[in-house]
Amino acid sequence: MQPNSSSVKKTGISDENSLTISRVAKSKIKVAIADDHQIFIEGIKSLLRENQHIQIVGEVSDGKELLDLLKSKKVDVVLMDVSMPNLDGLEATRKIYHAYPDVKIIGLTMFEDTTKISDMMRAGASGYLFKTTGKHELVNAIQKVYTGQKYLSPEVSNKLIDRMIGDEFPKETPVRHAEITPREKDIIKLIAQEMTNNEIAQRLNNSPMTIITHRKNLLRKLGLKNTAGLIKYAVEHGLLE
């Protein structure tokens, strides 16, 4: 008997994966999130909260905490930030691949660095996404790797192809404080108006996850700790004019 198409759409399960999920996942797919920014963890949780086939079983801020979590909890899929303190995503992936071979790992980053993508996949990751990904793609990636498949988002795949054919030669370029994009300036102005991530997303016709990623990127590139510091910087540098 084929699954009802309308029920597939409501749960966010893709047609391609629905039969596989129904056979192998009598219980929910257990997902852990590893990221050193709580605002991003909350964004991921908001995207997955209503999915009937996925359960968030843990959240940690670095690789060491993740290894401790795996000792005490059953985890099927880890959403792994590549850049974390103490034990970064790459080294944590290597350790998990050898110690917990059944745990699938999806690398997450906001940097389009093809070297990091390749390194993560060689270390044992089953998938890779940019942090600007939407809800449908995130769910699809989790389902794919859970059933033993590999998953690279179209953006990641294109980056790797560009590198292979020689159209891109990635190199490290230091970010200067002055390098704030027009979209980031728009977001700073709306933050200063005390708008929430959802309100900013609606105003700029973006997803909340995209706004969260922009905010995290701003804090990182400007060397700031929180929203108050961001507003102070904006005032001092005339970004709110």
> What would be the CATH architecture of the domain defined by 182-236?
Orthogonal Bundle (1.10)
C-alpha–C-alpha distance, residues 103 and 67, integer Å? 11
Residue 28: closest CA among 3, 62, 53: 53
Q: Identify the architecture of domain 5-164 in CATH.
A: 3-Layer(aba) Sandwich (3.40)
User: What is the arithmetic mean of pLDDT over 209-221?
Assistant: 87
Please tell me which residue, 173 or 78, carries the higher pLDDT value.
78
Check pLDDT > 90 for residue 106.
yes
Instruction: Return all residues near 17 (Cβ < 8 A) that are at least 6 apart.
Output: 140, 143, 144, 147
pLDDT confidence of residue 26 = 59
Residues 7-66 have pLDDT tens digits of 444 444 455 455 454 444 458 999 999 999 898 999 999 999 889 999 999 999 999 999
The pLDDT assigned to 154 comes to 85
Q: How many residues does the chain have?
A: 241
- The model's confidence at residue 166, banded by pLDDT at 50, 70 and 90, is low
Span 108-133, pLDDT tens digits:
987 767 788 889 999 999 999 988 88
User: Looking at the chain, which residues constitute the CATH 1.10.10.10 domain(s)?
Assistant: 182-236
Radius of gyration of the chain, Cα coordinates, nearest whole angstrom:
19
Looking up tokens 């909340």 gives 208
Long-range contacts of 190-198 (CB under 8 A, 24+ apart): 191/215, 191/227, 191/230, 191/231, 192/231, 192/234, 192/240, 197/43
Residue of 77 and 207 predicted with greater confidence: 77
Query: And the tokens for 57?
Result: 């079983």
Coil, strand, or helix at residue 177?
coil
Residue ranges matching CATH 3.40.50.2300 in the chain: 5-164
Residue tagged 């990904």 (tokens): 133
Which residue from 106, 138, 132 is spatially nearest to 121, judged by alpha carbons? 106
Q: What is the pLDDT of residue 138?
A: 95
Q: Supply the mean pLDDT for the chain.
A: 83
Q: Between residues 9 and 179, which one has the greater pLDDT?
A: 179
Return the residue matching tokens 């300036």. 185
β-bridge pairing 77-81 and 29-34: parallel
